[in-house]
């Protein structure tokens, strides 16, 4: 299942959420200074994600994981801004949402499977010299 999910689509979904929230913050928040770069990055992320969608069908759980990573990017940027400017409000809810969605994506990608650890035993050095 982990091999069927396209990682580039997930990366573009994360960047789209991150840049989308940055664009919204730049245009609406007085705490964030205006910059054209989040808007340009958002346009590039949207076009790249759209191109990945048009190129072929999404496999198995790519849509669910892409949506989760979109929200991780959006809530992650919101938590970052709220940590940087505490007057906006606290960021506890955004952090918990990011953590929950991260665990969801990790289980879908198969990263939660624990493999038995193999310990290498070094040969005992002799004390006889």
Q: Where are the domains of the chain?
A: 2-109
Phi-psi region of 110 (alpha: psi -120 to 50; beta: other; left: phi over 0): left
Cβ(25)–Cβ(81) below 8 Å: yes
pLDDT for res 125: 61
Q: Give pLDDT < 50 ranges for the chain.
A: 1-2
Residues of the chain above pLDDT 70, percent = 83
DSSP state of 100: H
Cβ(104)–Cβ(61) below 8 Å: no
The model's pTM: 0.80
> Tokens 């990945």 — which residue?
52
């Amino acid at each position: 299942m982990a091999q069927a999910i396209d990682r580039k689509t997930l990366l573009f979904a994360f960047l789209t959420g991150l840049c989308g929230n940055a664009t919204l913050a730049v245009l609406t928040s007085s705490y964030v200074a205006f910059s054209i770069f989040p808007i340009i990055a958002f346009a590039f992320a949207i076009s790249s994600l759209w191109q990945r969608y048009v190129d072929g069908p999404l496999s198995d759980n790519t849509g669910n994981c892409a949506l989760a990573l979109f929200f991780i990017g959006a809530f992650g940027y919101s938590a970052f801004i709220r940590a940087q400017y505490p007057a906006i409000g606290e960021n506890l809810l955004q952090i918990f949402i990011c953590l929950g969605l991260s665990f969801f994506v990790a289980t879908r990608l198969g990263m939660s499977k624990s493999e038995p650890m193999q310990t290498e035993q070094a040969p005992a050095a002799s004390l006889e010299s």
